[in-house]
Amino acid sequence: MLERTRRRNHTQITFVLPARHPDGEVSVVGDVNEWRPGAHPMTERPDGTRAVTVTLPVNQRHGFRYLASGGHWLDEDGADGHDGLNSLLHT
Q: Convert the pLDDT of each residue in 13-48 to its tens digit.
A: 999 999 888 888 999 999 999 999 999 999 999 999
Chain centre distance of CA 25: 13
Is 8 a residue whose pLDDT tops 90? Answer: no
pLDDT of residue 66: 97
Compute how many other C-beta atoms are within 10 angstroms of the C-beta atom of residue 62: 19
- Please state, in angstroms and rounded to a whole number, the distance separating the CA atoms of residues 80 and 22: 22
pLDDT of residue 18: 92
Position with higher pLDDT, 52 vs 23:
52
In this prediction, residues 61-77 reach a mean pLDDT of: 95
* Architecture of the domain spanning 2-90: Sandwich (2.60)
pLDDT of residue 19: 87
